[in-house]
Structure 1
Amino acid sequence: MARLLVDRPADTLTIGDMARGLGHSHGAVRNAALTLVRRGEADQLGTGQPQFRANGKTAAAAQTAVISPPGTHSPRAQAATARTTAPAANTVKPGGPIRRAGGQLYHPRELADLPDVEALNRLRDADVPVLLYGPPGTGKTSLVEAAFPDLLTVAGDGDTTVGDLIGEYTQDDAGAYVFQYGPLVTAMTEGRALLIDDATLISPKVLAALYPAMDGRRQIQVKAHKGETIQAKQGFYVVAGHNPGVHGAVLTEALASRFSVQIQVGTDYDLALALRIDARVVRIARNLAHQVELGELGWAPQLRELLSYQKTEAVLGTAAALANLVGIAPIEDRDAVATAVSKIAGVKSVAPLTLGRQLSAATASAARHPPVSTAPAHRGPSR
């Protein structure tokens, strides 16, 4: 990165310019550029779509790769440094999975002829907020976590308050009340990404506290804390999740207008097969999803449920896993799910996983300790 800037000292380069010149992903290039700026080894211009150029220290930086010691920067900077100095914790390789902060693997999908994580990073560079919508369990949160290692998350619901976003007074160990900043303020002051999950379950009056940070002002006023004004730093970015089928989820015009890009997220059933989930169960899910599309049904298993099926099958067996698949469906859809399971999986009848009769002590002991054969060992022919 530094060498590229040094070779073009008269130019101001965007993330896209540098990504094309270096042949690396926008996400990796973006984080490397921000690392150089934080170290004073390059200059940044602009706050919307940032541009970068060489300064007096860039030539020295181009000579030797330097890894910042832990704690040098904010959590966002540390995440960015890890991305640019370690072998691809979340650098996108064609078809390759990305390891999320919690250790789980995310398998990128195509979006606008790009890997989805790459597309989200480009939108972040251009400060274009994104709303991801689709049924629960399709991977919306996983995608955002894979794209942004510096992510902060607000889990929205009907009880979410302005204090949950901005902060509120709490009592410390000495009994004094101190103001504890919320995730919105933290993301703004540290230039981090913020996911408002299930945003459409949050009261519109609460969400209104977020809007000044997303528009041209890029600031909010913390009325509860002396009317303090918080200004967003470069890198602050908001993405939201919306589950249209969830009771109480309402996408208001005010909220929708704040997100210039809205992306539908559904289950990738081909990925489910690649993850070695029982092909019959994937076929059941496809069949039910088609009925949902036709308006004949309200629920179909998504990737989350298919992964849970796989784990349940490994522990309790196929029959119990199929019964549980029926049991997790909404009551009004269970008969249709049971019919699909019976038809496609080839079982005569299936009902929700249910406790049976009480076991006797002897039966329970036998279940815990399977019998060992007492037949005499074969000693060969008698003489």
Structure 2
Amino acid sequence: MATPTPPPSPQPAPPAALLPAAPGKARPGELRARVAAILAVSPQGRYTVTELAKQLGHSGGAVGNACETLVTRGEAERVGHKPRTYQATSTTGAAAQPTSSTTPPSAAVPRPRPAPATAPASGGRPAPITRPNGQTYHPRALENLPDVEALQRLREASVPVLLYGPPGTGKTSLIEAAFPDLITVAGDGDTTVGDLVGEYTQTEAGGYEFIYGPLVTAMTEGRALLLDDATLISPKVLAALYPALDGRRQIQVKAHKGETIEAADGFYVIAGHNPGVHGAVLTEALASRFSMQIQVASDYDLAKALKINPVAVRIARNIATRQAGGELGWAPQLRELIAFQKIADVLGADVAFANLVGIAPPEDRDTVAEIVTKAIGRPITALALGRQL
């Protein structure tokens, strides 16, 4: 008797991003899964929001928000800022499965906020705080309080805060450390009211249902909401947020039958602003909603603690001092110093110093080269390819 042929082994389902997309816009969980799947297919690849949006057929604002949610959950890493660029982490593959996110506000149960994570370490200093992506944040002084504790107190008092400073100074890191229940909106010129409040999306059955956005989720669950790069968002879009920030603490969702959303206890909005970034405009209307505004500069002491080349740290301090005096328009921030050390570890300090000169804006590059050359005692110019080998 012939031996029966065994059935073929089941094949693993393809990542969510590689499945045919349903007509219309994907649900928020589905879009996040599709973004994660694209990143996971090429773990070493780096993708801009524009590249991802073209592949997925969604707006840059929606895709940017999905990327930032993945970063907050530790399921992706932001590796560039101008333009925003993302890369997979070890957990990105697990995020490539769609989840449902259709709970209406009337059925939402406010989340209890996590306890503040500012327990002092030995010697009375606050202990480092682990952020959602696994990296640690070292609290800094804000007058006589740790910055994390100060933000938590301001939240309790319902005082909205705007953090401003150059990219790479740690604004987002501080906010993530202060608020473990954080929801992040990555602002840019493509962000729409629907990206904040919600919009209709087509279901698998061919009908339509309204999917609430991050602003409504934060309001109904009493969570903190970060408007990252808030000053890149159109003032007309931000106007939808303003009623939630004043005494009314409510908004009307005009796209959903004019529904009124009330803010639950604990709802809090904090914003980030990068002065000098092209397109970033701090309007009077936006500034007036944030009665507390805090400048965030790079923590060069932390750079030393992270064992970054002390000469590079000294150069960065020198450039920052000249920037403050109006001689230069740019200074390397902590992000650039961390990158410096990674490059130095791989290709040597000379290459890292040359790269530091090369990343300075063209109008500042000659002065930065002079500062670096004087500090290390030999001529340093920006990196450039040489003759053919």
User: How many angstroms apart in 2 are the aligned matches of 1:75 and 1:158?
Assistant: 31
Residue 167 of structure 1 contacts residue 179 of structure 1 at CA under 8 Å; is this kept in 2? Answer: yes
Partner of 1:315: 346
Alignment equivalent of 1:335, drawn from 366, 374, 389? 366
SS in 1 for 2:289: coil
Matched, 1:220 2:251: yes
For residues 145 and 319 of structure 1, what CA distance do their matches in structure 2 show?
Answer: 35
1:150 correspondence with 2:184: no
Residue 171 in structure 1 maps to residue 191 in structure 2: no
Change (3 A) 1:343 1:188: same
Contact persistence 1:189–1:233 (CA under 8 A): yes
Q: Match for 2:281: what amino acid?
A: V
1:178, CA displacement in angstroms? 2.3
Aligned partner letter, 1:354: A
Kept in 2: contact 1:151–1:195 (CA 8 A): yes
> For residue 302 of structure 2, what is the aligned residue in structure 1?
271
Q: 1:247 aligns with which of 259, 274, 278?
A: 278
Partner of 1:355: 385
User: How many Å separate the matches in 1 of 2:214 and 2:346?
Assistant: 38
Alignment match, 2:140: 109
Q: Is the 8 A contact 2:354 2:380 kept in 1?
A: no
Name which of 201, 214, 226 aligns with 1:183: 214
Q: How does 1:250-261 map to 2 (within 5 A)?
A: 250-261=281-292
- Separation in structure 1 between the aligned mates of residue 188 and residue 350 of structure 2, nearest angstrom: 35
By how many angstroms is 1:357 displaced? 4.2
Alpha-carbon distance in structure 2 between the residues aligned to 1:231 and 1:99: 32
2:257 is aligned with 1:235: no
Cα distance in 2 for residues equivalent to 1:241 and 1:185: 20
Aligned equivalent of 1:325: 356
Give the structure 2 partner of residue 58 of structure 1: none
Mean Cα deviation higher: 93-102 or 302-311: 93-102
- Secondary structure at 1:238 match in 2: strand
SS of the residue 1:284 aligns to? helix
Asked if the contact 1:131/1:240 (under 8 Å) is kept, the reply is yes
User: What are the equivalent positions in structure 2 for 1:66-215 lying under 5 Å apart?
Assistant: 76-77=111-112, 80=114, 83=115, 91-93=119-121, 94-215=125-246
CA distance in 2, matches of 1:208, 1:163: 12
- Distance (Å, rounded) in 1 between the aligned partners of 2:368 and 2:203: 51
Task: Please give the residue correspondences for 1:6-17 in structure 2 after superposition, counting only pairs within 5 Å.
Answer: none
Aligned counterparts of 1:274 and 1:75: Cα–Cα separation in 2: 39
Identical positions, percent: 73
Q: 1:302 to 1:75 in 2, by over 3 A?
A: farther
Change in CA separation of 1:194 and 1:132 when aligned onto 2, cut-off 3 Å: same
Residues 312 and 188 of structure 1, relative CA distance in 2, 3 Å threshold? same
Q: 3-state SS of the aligned residue for 1:178?
A: strand
The residue type equivalent to 1:255 in the other structure is: L
**How many positions carry a matched residue from both structures?**
279
Equivalents in 2 of 1:74, 1:121: separation in Å? 22
1:286 is matched with: 317
SS where residue 205 of structure 1 aligns? Answer: helix
- Cα 1:270–1:163, aligned 2, differ >3 Å: closer, same or farther? same
Residues 92, 98 of structure 1: 8 Å contact kept: no
How far off is 1:329 after superposition? 1.5
Aligned partners of 1:152, 1:332: CA distance in 2, in Å? 38
Contact 2:176-2:182 at 8 Å conserved across structures: yes
Query: Normalised by the size of structure 1, how large is the TM-score?
Result: 0.69
Report the Cα offset of residue 350 of structure 1.
2.1
Within 2, Cα distance between the matches of 1:127 and 1:114? 18
Q: 1:170: how far off?
A: 2.2
Change (3 A) 1:76 1:355: farther
Q: Displacement, 1:340? A: 1.2
Secondary structure of 2:177 counterpart: helix
Structure-1 separation of matches of 2:387 and 2:197: 52
Q: In structure 2, what is the Cα distance between the partners aligned to 1:133 and 1:323?
A: 29
Structure 2 unpaired stretches of 5+: 1-107
Alpha-carbon distance in 2 for matches of 1:356, 1:238: 51
CA contact (8 A) 2:110 2:220 kept: no
**CA spacing shift, 1:186–1:291, aligned 2, 3 Å:** same
Larger radius of gyration: 1
